[in-house]
A and B are shown apart, each in its own frame.
Chain A
Amino acid sequence: MSIVKTKGLVHEFIRRDEEDNVESITTALDHVDLRVEQGEFIAILGHNGSGKSTLAKHINALLEATEGTIWVDGMDVSEEENVMPVRKVAGMVFQNPDNQIIASVVEEDVAFGPENVGVPTDEIWERVEKSLKAVDMTKYRNHSPNKLSGGQKQRVAIAGVMAMEPKCIVFDEPTAMLDPSGRKEVLAAAHELNRQKGVTVILITHYMEEVVDADYVYVMEDGKIIMDGKPREIFSKVDELKAHRLDVPQVTLLADELRKSGLPIPKGILTREELADAILKCASDFRR
């Protein structure tokens, strides 16, 4: 069973004036069909205003569809009685860590979620323990969150979501406000949860480098999915991505430039190692 499945999902933001007349309609999602299997690591790309975050909010039952259906773990999100169960299945991590942390001690912050849904105290502590360990923040458990770095705060936020034991976590630009090492920490934590705990990860990001290790990539524009495929397939279309206001990782761009200058470099290079190997191969081929 797919963990997230949408069929013809439409979301319209309708603006009304004072007399309740419709002023304008913005279609944020336009018949989106997508399927995410349990345990996958999915990335969603798209420029600002392409509908990524609207889609994310549907997965967490924060918005109601105008048309179409979305199922999370087999539950139809539009059914009133499914809303709370859906939110337990799908957790969310947002861009700004400061907006998500509420307690004055790290472990209390992580405990907040399970406490709210009435988990017995012993089990809360067990979950806090496990979650902090999963994001490697155990040694900060008694610290005050506001003394942590951005990457650490974001990992506390992830631990807070983990404590709810979700099957799926949606990360909505979790690294946009972080420095390079913070970005690395958060991304490593997401991959770790995916591999070790089998949590499905849906990552929304503007950093192309972060997408390289995903299992599958969706590209959105004007509320539609316009490209989808494995990272290698997506990033081999450098010019097409640029036309959609996106980019490719810097090494992929360099590989593309070198190929355009006549070097026999294969398409869809994603990592430094691959490019280094391809260039060195050119050098040794010349020698032969």
Chain B
Amino acid sequence: MSIILDKVNFSYSQETAYKIQALKDINLKIEDGEFIGIIGHTGSGKSTLIQHLNGLVKATSGGIYFNGQDIYDEDFNMKELRSKVGLVFQYPEHQLFETTIFDDVCFGPKNLGLDKKTVELRAYEALRSVGFPEALYFQSPFDLSGGQKRRVAIAGVLAMKPEVLILDEPTAGLDPAGRDEILDLISKMHKELAITVILVSHSMEDVAKYVDRIIVMNQGSVMYDGTPKEVFRQYKYLEEVGLAAPQVTYLMHELHEKGLPVNLDATTVEEAKESILCALRNNEAKRLQ
């Protein structure tokens, strides 16, 4: 199970004077079960990239292969691709529209042409996996808090049983606890449902904490592609393109410069703590020798 992008190019307003090349020569392979973060400044091509993955926009040139099949083939089932690659847009709660939460989650699977029973079963499962309180299932989605609404919107995509779940800034505008809840939920779904997750984010701290692989976009191209440690090691270059490393990464570099031999690859609070304690202990041991 994989998605392969082969020399994908995309331009808006192709063949006009306003042509803007949004993606340039993208080559990527996304394997089954990966947890990927996509970062990049505003306008770097992140959203355009993810819209290619479920066929919402068509590449100007190049190919995209889903499980070995060319998605631009005439007989390729685009509808099936869209149910397998679920996309949660920014501020997904704006897309809620039904009278009850349950109906809203049913909408997706119902459109797949499934029978009523299966649809309802899927809606139950989806709402349960996002940890939504059962007592509220038949209330209006519009009375919920921001974080709750977002859960319902994610459940709506989950009810499609996607194999790949793409989320475009799922935590924008949420308070810190709401942010942690949504990210913990996504991480849990990644593990328990064994789905591939692609997370677009502006928060370097969140990306460092959760994902296994980071793709950095800059001006329509892939600038870096690697583990959080590999990517954040380039923090000076990240800054040049409007990004940053997590705060602790900077701290570790400062400590290192001032002579405390800490691990420069620490990107989370947990790792930084271990490394600092370890460095101080070694320091102490050396002194006693």
Point out residues on A near B: beta carbons under 8 Å. 46-50, 95, 149-151, 173, 176-182, 206, 208-209, 242, 245-247, 249-251, 253-254, 257-258, 261, 263, 272-273, 275-276, 279-280, 282-283, 286-287
Contacts and interface: CB of A to CB of B under 8 A. Distances in A.
Contacts of B244: 180-181
B280 A283 contact: yes
A114 B96 CA distance: 38
B175 A246 contact: yes
Contact of B269 (A176, A180, A181, A253): A253
B242 A180 contact: yes
B287 interface: yes
12 contacts: A47-B177, A47-B178, A48-B146, A179-B42, A181-B239, A246-B176, A250-B246, A254-B273, A258-B276, A263-B280, A279-B255, A283-B283
B185 interface: no
B272 interface: yes
Contacts of A272: 247, 250-251, 254
B174 interface: yes
Contact of B258 (A176, A275, A280): A280
A249 B247 contact: yes
Contact of A263 (B40, B277, B287): B277
Contact of A178 (B177, B202, B250): B202
A208 B175 CA distance: 10
B42 A149 contact: yes
Main secondary structure of the interface of A (DSSP, over half): helix
A283 B173 CA distance: 40
Contacts of A209: 247
A251 to B, nearest CB: 5
Question: Closest 3 CB pairs between A and B?
Answer: A245-B177, A247-B176, A181-B242
A253 B251 CA distance: 13
Given A258-B273, A263-B280, A287-B287, A245 B248 contact: no
A222 B172 CA distance: 22
Contacts of B279: 283
A251 B250 CA distance: 10
B283 A287 contact: yes
Interface of B: 40-43, 145-147, 172-179, 202, 204-205, 239, 242-244, 246-248, 250-251, 254-255, 258-260, 269, 272-273, 276-277, 279-280, 283-284, 287
A179 B41 contact: yes
Nearest to A152: B42
A101 to B, nearest CB: 15
Contact of A47 (B175, B204, B205): B175
Contact of B202 (A179, A257, A280, A286): A179
B177 to A, nearest CB: 3
Contacts of B247: 209, 249-251, 272
B176 A49 contact: no
Main secondary structure of the interface of B (DSSP, over half): helix
B223 to A, nearest CB: 14
Given A251-B247, A280-B259, 17 more contacts: A47-B178, A48-B145, A150-B42, A173-B173, A179-B242, A180-B41, A206-B173, A206-B179, A254-B251, A254-B269, A258-B277, A263-B277, A272-B251, A272-B254, A276-B258, A283-B260, A283-B283
A279 B260 CA distance: 9
Nearest to B169: A177
Contact of A276 (B41, B179, B255): B255
Nearest to B42: A150
A246 B272 CA distance: 22
B176 A245 contact: yes
A225 to B, nearest CB: 16
A255 B202 CA distance: 24
A279 B243 CA distance: 27
A251 B173 CA distance: 22
B176 A254 contact: no
Contacts of B178: 47-48, 245
Contact of A49 (B146, B205, B273): B146
Contacts of A263: 277, 280
Nearest to B203: A180
Contacts of A283: 260, 279-280, 283
A253 B242 CA distance: 25
A209 B251 CA distance: 14
Contacts of A178: 42, 202
Among the interface residues A50, A150, A250, A272, which one has the most CB atoms of the partner chain B within 10 A? Answer: A250
Contact of A206 (B145, B175, B248): B175
A249 B243 CA distance: 18
